[in-house]
Each structure stands twice: as structure tokens, then as C-alpha cells.
């Protein structure tokens, strides 16, 4: 039923790129923030300016990860060492926290300007599984998850919200570690082998595979079906509506 193995009683969904059309907003914010920093860094060090690649580098270093982890991962890939800084660092300060704060400001501004759009196929799928008594959770690295769900008017579609704020409060590691998915399943009272994970990020499918969930569904929004499968997706679809079959 719904493409799920027998015995699955919970579905755990990533938000950006799976449920909401906000992954492109995040990618644009990362690029704007990193390009501004890289341009200044190149001028200060007398090295060539190499802009942030919003596809290859976004997928490899930041997509699906907690904000600070994404910043660290990308900087490390470029061989750039910055101080950690503190949460109070002004946006744009050349620290991990300062750059991360700048990225967050850019995301909030872009969301406020354009609102939040959802993937209708995903909403139809979530409503269908809930109608059959399957519990649902949103599992996102974003600290803005509640605002996004409220803006889109879909907060009531999830029994549990496991986001960046909750993960920090509980001391959970972000994706690609399976901690947040496992915690969401526990909050629903379901074992991992009775839950399915739905992800569009490579780090997210890695988390699903590491958690030994019953099924990891890769959602291919940007033409990376092969990579999603390589990183741990059991099946890959372009839209969750494909899993509804004749129920559409």
C-alpha cells in the first residue's frame, strides 16, 4: 500500500525539497552568502575568486545538513579555516556562526518575499497515508521549520516535528547521522524497521540507511536519481504522487 512494505506504520518526511518547494530558496541563500564571503576572501588573500556552485557544492556539502555543519563542510572543502565564533556574531562576520547567521537572514527574507509553495503530490500522499491510520513526522535540519509549515498551512499534517531547534535541545547529531529520524520514530512510538523515510538530500538518504529504516524513498527533484540510490535510497521517484497509483 502506497509503495510501503508490510508493517510500516509511520512515514517520516524531510521538508525542504520533499514537502515544500524551499530547497531552491536555501540553495540561493547559500550561494549569495558564500559568494559574498569568497569574493572578500579572495581580495584579502590575493587569490582567484571561485564562486560557490549551487548544484555540485550545494549537494555535496550543505544540502540537508544543519546550518553550521553545512558552513563548516563547505569551508573545509575549500581549505578555509575560520573561527567558530558565537551565536551573537553579526551576520556576515567571518566566523562559522557569522556566515551561518547571514545565510539564515537571507532565507527568511526570501521566504517573506515569496511565500511558501508546497509539492501537491507530496501533500496528496501525506493525506492519503494519514487517512489509512499511518502516523507522520516532519524531520528537517532547518531551524525555521515551524514558520515554514505554518506559512504553508500544513502543520496539522504531522504528528511530530523534529527540526533543527529540537535537535539542538536534545543534543542530536544532524544528517547524515540518523539521530533525528530515529528520535522522530521514537516520538511516534514506532521502531525504525516499521517506519519509512522520504528524502531529497544525499545526506538525508544516508541518514535513512544508517538508521536501518524499513524503506528509504529518494525524491529526485534535480536529476540526481543515481546519486540518491548510491547514497542509500531503496527506491527513487520524481514525485510522491507516483506512489499513489490508482488512488490519485
Residue ranges and CATH numbers for the domains of the chain are 10-22+116-247 (3.40.50.1000), 24-114 (no CATH)
The pTM of the whole model exceeds 0.75: yes
Give the per-residue pLDDT at 52.
98
Give the per-residue pLDDT at 24.
82
64 vs 232, more confident: 232
Asked if residue 12 lies in contact with residue 198, where contact means CB atoms within 8 angstroms, the answer is: yes
> CA–CA distance from 15 to each of 19, 22, 70, 88 (Å)?
5, 8, 17, 27
Question: In this model, does residue 213 exceed pLDDT 70?
Answer: yes
Asked if residue 225 lies in contact with residue 192, where contact means CB atoms within 8 angstroms, the answer is: no
Q: How confident is the model at residue 246 (pLDDT cuts 50, 70, 90)?
A: low
Q: CA 245, CA 109: separation in Å to the nearest integer?
A: 38
Asked if residue 22 lies in contact with residue 116, where contact means CB atoms within 8 angstroms, the answer is: yes
Cell of 142: 532547518
Over residues 13-53, the pLDDT tens digits come to 999 999 999 888 888 999 999 999 999 999 999 999 999 99
Report the first-to-last Cα separation within the chain, whole angstroms: 13
The crossing angle, in degrees rounded to 10, of helices 23-45 and 67-77 is: 40
Q: How confident is the model at residue 147 (pLDDT cuts 50, 70, 90)?
A: confident
Give the per-residue pLDDT at 114.
72
Q: Which residue has the cell 512494505?
A: 5
Query: Taking Cα atoms as reference points, which of 182, 157, 132 lies closest to residue 4?
Result: 132
Over residues 84-137, the pLDDT tens digits come to 999 999 999 999 999 999 999 998 888 888 778 899 999 999 999 999 999 999
Q: CA 123, CA 117: separation in Å to the nearest integer?
A: 11
Q: Could you give the residue numbers annotated as active site? A: 14, 16
User: Mean pLDDT, the chain, as a whole number?
Assistant: 94
Q: CA 220, CA 62: separation in Å to the nearest integer?
A: 17
Q: State the virtual CA torsion across 103, 106, 112, 114 in degrees, nearest 10.
A: -100
Asked if residue 148 lies in contact with residue 178, where contact means CB atoms within 8 angstroms, the answer is: no
Question: In this model, does residue 7 exceed pLDDT 80?
Answer: yes
Give the per-residue pLDDT at 85.
98
Asked if residue 167 lies in contact with residue 64, where contact means CB atoms within 8 angstroms, the answer is: no
Give the per-residue pLDDT at 113.
80
Cell of 43: 581580495
Amino acid at each position: 500500500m502506497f509503495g510501503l512494505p508490510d508493517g510500516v506504520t509511520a512515514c517520516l518526511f524531510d521538508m525542504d525539497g520533499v514537502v515544500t518547494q524551499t530547497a531552491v530558496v536555501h540553495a540561493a541563500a547559500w550561494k549569495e552568502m558564500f559568494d559574498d564571503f569568497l569574493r572578500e576572501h579572495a581580495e584579502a588573500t590575493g587569490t582567484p575568486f571561485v564562486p560557490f556552485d549551487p548544484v555540485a557544492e550545494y549537494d555535496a556539502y550543505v544540502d540537508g545538513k544543519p546550518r553550521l555543519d553545512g558552513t563548516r563542510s563547505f569551508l573545509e572543502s575549500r581549505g578555509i579555516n575560520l573561527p567558530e565564533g558565537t551565536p551573537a556574531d553579526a551576520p556576515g562576520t567571518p566566523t562559522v556562526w557569522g556566515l551561518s547567521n547571514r545565510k539564515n537572514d537571507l532565507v527568511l527574507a526570501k521566504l517573506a518575499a515569496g511565500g511558501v509553495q508546497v509539492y501537491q503530490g507530496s501533500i496528496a500522499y501525506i493525506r492519503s497515508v494519514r487517512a489509512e491510520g499511518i502516523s507522520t513526522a516532519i524531520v528537517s535540519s532547518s531551524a525555521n521549520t515551524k514558520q515554514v509549515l505554518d506559512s504553508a498551512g500544513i502543520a496539522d499534517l504531522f504528528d511530530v516535528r523534529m527540526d533543527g531547534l529540537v535537535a539542538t535541545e536534545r543534543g542530536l547529531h544532524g544528517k547524515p547521522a540518523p539521530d533525528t529520524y530515529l528520535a522522530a520514530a521514537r516520538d511516534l512510538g514506532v521502531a525504525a524497521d516499521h517506519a519509512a523515510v522520504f528524502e531529497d538530500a544525499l545526506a538525508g538518504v544516508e541518514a535513512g540507511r544508517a538508521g536501518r529504516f524499513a524503506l528509504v524513498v529518494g525524491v529526485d527533484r534535480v536529476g540526481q536519481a543515481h546519486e540518491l540510490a548510491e547514497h542509500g535510497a531503496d527506491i527513487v521517484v520524481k514525485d510522491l504522487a507516483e506512489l499513489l497509483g490508482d488512488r490519485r
